[in-house]
Amino acid sequence: MAYLYLVRHGETLLNADDRVNGGTVDSPLTAKGVASARALGELLGNVHFDRIISSPLPRALATTKLVVGADVPIITDRRLREMTLGDWDGLPVAMIANDAEFHHFNEHLDAFDPAPMHAEPIPELWQRGQAALRAAVAGVPDDGRVLVVAHAIILTLLARVLTGTTTIDASRVDGELANTSVTVLQTDQTEWTKLAWEVTPDRADQLSVDQLRLFN
């Protein structure tokens, strides 16, 4: 069974401005995002990772380097890039908040139609995301640990659905994984078990004894 540490990138300027931060746009990490990524690096400092994988988007790569160090080998996988939201990418959320498709996107993914805004279909996102995580743990030694740094939409979907927490349709109802949070799963590629959920450096003191072992 391999351990998979799923990290969402640090806060970006687009995040701070409450703009859509999809797969066709990028912006630098804020000072808060940088500080939080460094703090997460301290939390994960005692963990030996057999493999470190990042989305190729600059915000994810920058976060990865702040967490593990600039000189540590990092694998990039395009399948981990954020969902492409087409014409929505970069827009203020307030501009699309009353759009029926935005409601579907957040509350009822099965009803979401990506065509009007030229977004990526959810089945394609799901398939490439699953494939990326299965490849991430393939060939890793038993009890090996893999760090994956990516994005809110794709990681929230994968973590909630693979662990059976919810369906694809309802996977966004409870919101997205927080910036610079780590979610730990254990998997044999058939079963995916949630061990720690959305841990941020400022909440590490809330971990159970068993969860603390994941960070040593």
Query: Annotated binding residue at 13?
Result: yes
Query: Annotated binding residue at 14?
Result: yes
Show pLDDT as tens, one digit a residue, over the chain (216 residues).
Answer: 999 999 999 999 999 999 999 999 999 999 999 999 999 999 999 999 999 999 999 999 999 999 999 899 999 999 999 999 999 999 999 999 999 999 999 999 999 999 999 999 999 999 999 999 999 999 999 999 999 999 999 999 999 999 999 999 999 999 999 999 999 999 998 899 999 999 999 988 899 999 999 998
Active site residues: 9, 82
Query: Annotated binding residue at 212?
Result: no
- CATH 3.40.50.1240 corresponds to the domain 2-16+28-83+120-205: yes
CA distance linking residue 104 with residue 68, whole number of Å: 37
Is residue 185 a contact partner of residue 199, using CB atoms and an 8 Å limit?
A: no
Query: Annotated binding residue at 145?
Result: no
The CA–CA distances, whole Å, from 156 to 48, 58, 129, 159, 164 equal 24, 20, 11, 5, 12
Q: Can you tell me which residue has the tokens 């780590």?
A: 182
Question: What ranges do the domains of the chain cover?
Answer: 2-16+28-83+120-205
